Amino acid sequence: MLTTGPLNEVPAGAPQPAGAHGTGASLPRALLLNASGEPLCVVSLHRAVVLVMTGKATVLESEGRLLHSERAAIPLPVVLSLTRYVHVPTRRPVPPTRRTVLQRDDHRCAYCGGGADTVDHVLPRSRGGRHEWGNVVAACVRCNHRKADHLLHELGWELRFTPRAPRWSVAFGAAAVRAEPVWSRYLAA
Protein backbone atom coordinates (compact mmCIF):
# COMPACT_ATOMS: atom_id res chain seq x y z
CA MET A 1 0.00 0.00 0.00
CA LEU A 2 0.96 3.64 -0.05
CA THR A 3 3.41 4.57 2.62
CA THR A 4 5.11 7.78 1.60
CA GLY A 5 4.69 11.16 3.25
CA PRO A 6 1.40 12.81 2.39
CA LEU A 7 -0.07 9.62 1.01
CA ASN A 8 -1.07 8.06 4.27
CA GLU A 9 -4.63 9.07 4.43
CA VAL A 10 -8.13 8.11 5.30
CA PRO A 11 -9.26 4.72 4.05
CA ALA A 12 -10.92 5.23 0.72
CA GLY A 13 -14.14 3.74 1.95
CA ALA A 14 -14.35 5.89 5.04
CA PRO A 15 -17.85 7.03 5.82
CA GLN A 16 -18.74 10.55 4.83
CA PRO A 17 -20.10 13.05 7.31
CA ALA A 18 -23.86 13.27 7.45
CA GLY A 19 -25.34 15.52 4.83
CA ALA A 20 -22.36 15.20 2.52
CA HIS A 21 -24.11 13.04 -0.02
CA GLY A 22 -25.66 13.92 -3.29
CA THR A 23 -26.25 17.59 -2.89
CA GLY A 24 -22.87 18.74 -4.15
CA ALA A 25 -22.98 21.25 -1.34
CA SER A 26 -20.26 19.58 0.63
CA LEU A 27 -17.14 17.83 -0.61
CA PRO A 28 -15.43 16.34 2.39
CA ARG A 29 -12.63 14.64 0.47
CA ALA A 30 -10.34 15.42 -2.41
CA LEU A 31 -8.56 13.34 -5.01
CA LEU A 32 -4.78 13.70 -4.78
CA LEU A 33 -2.70 13.26 -7.94
CA ASN A 34 1.01 12.84 -8.20
CA ALA A 35 2.92 15.62 -9.97
CA SER A 36 2.80 13.34 -13.02
CA GLY A 37 -1.00 13.41 -13.01
CA GLU A 38 -1.34 9.85 -11.78
CA PRO A 39 -4.04 9.41 -9.15
CA LEU A 40 -2.55 8.59 -5.75
CA CYS A 41 -5.21 8.53 -3.08
CA VAL A 42 -8.16 10.22 -1.53
CA VAL A 43 -7.41 12.73 1.20
CA SER A 44 -9.61 14.39 3.75
CA LEU A 45 -10.53 17.97 3.12
CA HIS A 46 -8.44 18.98 6.09
CA ARG A 47 -5.40 17.21 4.66
CA ALA A 48 -6.02 18.74 1.25
CA VAL A 49 -6.10 22.22 2.70
CA VAL A 50 -2.89 21.60 4.65
CA LEU A 51 -1.15 20.38 1.50
CA VAL A 52 -2.21 23.49 -0.38
CA MET A 53 -1.40 25.91 2.42
CA THR A 54 2.09 24.43 2.81
CA GLY A 55 2.75 24.60 -0.91
CA LYS A 56 2.93 20.83 -1.33
CA ALA A 57 -0.03 20.66 -3.66
CA THR A 58 -1.95 22.89 -6.03
CA VAL A 59 -5.67 22.83 -6.64
CA LEU A 60 -6.72 21.54 -10.07
CA GLU A 61 -10.45 21.42 -9.55
CA SER A 62 -12.36 23.23 -6.92
CA GLU A 63 -15.83 23.86 -5.79
CA GLY A 64 -16.93 27.46 -6.03
CA ARG A 65 -16.91 28.10 -2.34
CA LEU A 66 -13.90 29.53 -0.57
CA LEU A 67 -12.46 28.05 2.56
CA HIS A 68 -11.35 30.70 4.97
CA SER A 69 -8.51 30.22 7.35
CA GLU A 70 -6.82 32.69 9.60
CA ARG A 71 -4.40 33.72 6.90
CA ALA A 72 -6.04 33.13 3.56
CA ALA A 73 -9.02 31.97 1.57
CA ILE A 74 -8.60 29.07 -0.83
CA PRO A 75 -11.11 27.40 -3.14
CA LEU A 76 -12.54 24.18 -1.71
CA PRO A 77 -10.27 21.55 -3.31
CA VAL A 78 -11.87 18.66 -5.18
CA VAL A 79 -8.83 17.50 -7.16
CA LEU A 80 -5.30 18.50 -6.30
CA SER A 81 -1.84 17.70 -7.55
CA LEU A 82 1.40 17.37 -5.64
CA THR A 83 3.92 20.01 -6.66
CA ARG A 84 6.74 17.47 -6.46
CA TYR A 85 6.68 13.98 -7.86
CA VAL A 86 6.56 11.29 -5.20
CA HIS A 87 7.90 7.90 -6.11
CA VAL A 88 5.45 5.19 -5.11
CA PRO A 89 7.40 1.94 -5.14
CA THR A 90 4.65 -0.52 -4.35
CA ARG A 91 1.94 0.39 -6.75
CA ARG A 92 0.01 -2.79 -7.28
CA PRO A 93 -2.33 -3.03 -10.23
CA VAL A 94 -5.90 -3.76 -9.30
CA PRO A 95 -6.84 -7.32 -10.19
CA PRO A 96 -10.00 -7.77 -12.23
CA THR A 97 -12.58 -9.14 -9.82
CA ARG A 98 -16.33 -9.00 -10.08
CA ARG A 99 -16.34 -5.94 -7.86
CA THR A 100 -13.57 -4.02 -9.63
CA VAL A 101 -14.86 -4.84 -13.12
CA LEU A 102 -18.38 -3.68 -12.23
CA GLN A 103 -16.83 -0.61 -10.69
CA ARG A 104 -14.77 0.19 -13.77
CA ASP A 105 -17.79 -0.25 -16.05
CA ASP A 106 -20.08 1.66 -13.73
CA HIS A 107 -22.39 -1.34 -13.44
CA ARG A 108 -23.39 -0.98 -17.10
CA CYS A 109 -23.66 -3.96 -19.41
CA ALA A 110 -20.99 -3.76 -22.11
CA TYR A 111 -23.43 -5.25 -24.64
CA CYS A 112 -26.81 -3.58 -24.05
CA GLY A 113 -25.99 -0.72 -21.69
CA GLY A 114 -28.46 -1.93 -19.07
CA GLY A 115 -27.72 -2.46 -15.42
CA ALA A 116 -25.12 -5.17 -14.94
CA ASP A 117 -24.13 -7.33 -12.05
CA THR A 118 -22.21 -10.14 -13.67
CA VAL A 119 -18.84 -10.26 -15.39
CA ASP A 120 -18.36 -11.75 -18.86
CA HIS A 121 -15.22 -12.86 -20.68
CA VAL A 122 -15.42 -11.26 -24.14
CA LEU A 123 -13.39 -14.07 -25.63
CA PRO A 124 -14.85 -17.01 -23.67
CA ARG A 125 -12.48 -18.88 -21.43
CA SER A 126 -13.55 -22.07 -23.17
CA ARG A 127 -12.04 -20.60 -26.33
CA GLY A 128 -8.80 -19.53 -24.72
CA GLY A 129 -9.91 -16.16 -23.38
CA ARG A 130 -7.87 -14.95 -20.44
CA HIS A 131 -9.05 -13.42 -17.23
CA GLU A 132 -7.47 -10.02 -17.76
CA TRP A 133 -8.74 -6.45 -17.91
CA GLY A 134 -8.82 -6.35 -21.68
CA ASN A 135 -11.06 -9.41 -21.82
CA VAL A 136 -13.54 -8.86 -19.00
CA VAL A 137 -16.59 -6.61 -19.02
CA ALA A 138 -19.64 -5.99 -16.92
CA ALA A 139 -22.70 -7.73 -18.35
CA CYS A 140 -26.33 -8.07 -17.41
CA VAL A 141 -27.55 -11.56 -16.61
CA ARG A 142 -29.60 -11.70 -19.81
CA CYS A 143 -26.74 -10.79 -22.17
CA ASN A 144 -24.32 -12.98 -20.26
CA HIS A 145 -26.68 -15.92 -20.61
CA ARG A 146 -27.31 -15.31 -24.31
CA LYS A 147 -23.66 -14.83 -25.09
CA ALA A 148 -22.60 -18.02 -23.31
CA ASP A 149 -19.61 -19.44 -25.22
CA HIS A 150 -20.18 -17.46 -28.40
CA LEU A 151 -17.85 -14.97 -30.01
CA LEU A 152 -19.22 -11.48 -30.54
CA HIS A 153 -19.27 -11.69 -34.33
CA GLU A 154 -21.22 -14.93 -34.15
CA LEU A 155 -24.00 -12.98 -32.46
CA GLY A 156 -23.54 -9.76 -34.39
CA TRP A 157 -22.80 -8.01 -31.11
CA GLU A 158 -20.37 -5.20 -30.44
CA LEU A 159 -18.79 -3.89 -27.30
CA ARG A 160 -19.96 -0.44 -26.29
CA PHE A 161 -16.41 0.41 -25.18
CA THR A 162 -12.91 -1.04 -25.27
CA PRO A 163 -12.12 -2.69 -21.94
CA ARG A 164 -8.86 -1.51 -20.37
CA ALA A 165 -7.16 -1.72 -17.02
CA PRO A 166 -8.26 1.13 -14.77
CA ARG A 167 -5.74 3.70 -13.57
CA TRP A 168 -6.93 3.72 -10.02
CA SER A 169 -4.92 1.69 -7.57
CA VAL A 170 -6.06 -0.60 -4.81
CA ALA A 171 -5.99 2.47 -2.60
CA PHE A 172 -9.38 3.39 -4.03
CA GLY A 173 -12.41 1.62 -2.78
CA ALA A 174 -15.68 1.62 -4.66
CA ALA A 175 -16.99 4.44 -2.53
CA ALA A 176 -14.05 6.67 -3.31
CA VAL A 177 -14.16 6.09 -7.04
CA ARG A 178 -17.84 6.74 -7.21
CA ALA A 179 -17.87 9.63 -4.80
CA GLU A 180 -17.27 12.57 -7.08
CA PRO A 181 -18.11 12.78 -10.79
CA VAL A 182 -15.38 15.42 -11.17
CA TRP A 183 -12.79 12.80 -10.34
CA SER A 184 -13.71 10.45 -13.16
CA ARG A 185 -11.70 12.39 -15.75
CA TYR A 186 -8.55 11.85 -13.68
CA LEU A 187 -9.27 8.20 -12.95
CA ALA A 188 -10.25 7.11 -16.46
CA ALA A 189 -8.13 4.47 -18.12
Shortest spacing between CB 117 and Zn ion, in angstroms:
11
Complex with Zn ion: residue 14 or 112, whichever CB lies closer: 112
Distance in angstroms (rounded) separating the CA atoms of residues 175 and 57: 23
- With contacts defined by CB under 5 A, how many residues of the chain interact with Zn ion? 6
Shortest spacing between CB 146 and Zn ion, in angstroms:
8
Complex with Zn ion: residue 32 or 143, whichever CB lies closer: 143
**What mask of x and - would describe binding to Zn ion in positions 105 to 144, judged by CB under 5 A?**
----x-xx-x-------------------------x--x-
Long-range contacts of 96-104 (CB under 8 A, 24+ apart): 96/131, 96/132, 96/133, 96/136, 96/165, 99/174, 100/166, 101/136, 101/137, 101/138, 102/138, 103/166, 103/174, 103/177, 103/178, 104/133, 104/138, 104/163, 104/166, 104/189
Shortest spacing between CB 99 and Zn ion, in angstroms:
19
- The CA dihedral of 49, 55, 57, 59, to the nearest 10 degrees, is 70
Complex with Zn ion: residue 112 or 170, whichever CB lies closer: 112
Q: Which span (10-18, 40-48, 101-109, 181-189) binds Zn ion, by CB under 5 A?
A: 101-109
Shortest spacing between CB 119 and Zn ion, in angstroms:
12
Does residue 39 contact residue 64 with C-beta atoms inside 8 Å?
no
By CB under 5 A, name the binding residues for Zn ion. Answer: 109, 111-112, 114, 140, 143
